[in-house]
Amino acid sequence: MPQMAPMSWMMLFMFFTMVFIIIMTMNYYIYIPKMEKSEEESNYLTKTMSWKW
């Protein structure tokens, strides 16, 4: 059974490495986190300051 030349192994390694990096980069930039507003945070925004002098 013939073995692959070392150069072929290097090209195969580089190919799979580049595919892995491309897929990870796409996953990073495609993901959109959902920002859920908490009730506490919304209460802070709606409260008004009423000073009693």
Compare 18 and 47 and report the one with higher pLDDT: 18
Going from N- to C-terminal start, the domains of the chain cover 9-45
**Pair of tokens at residue 2:** 């013939």
What is this structure's pTM?
0.52
Q: What's the pLDDT tens digit per position in 9-43?
A: 889 999 999 999 999 999 999 988 787 766 555 55
DSSP 1-53: -PPPPHHHHHHHHHHHHHHHHHHHHHHHHH-----PPPHHHHHHHH-------
d(CA 52, CA 14) in angstroms, rounded, equals 71
Q: What pLDDT does 21 receive?
A: 98
Distance of CA 33 to the CA centre of its chain: 9
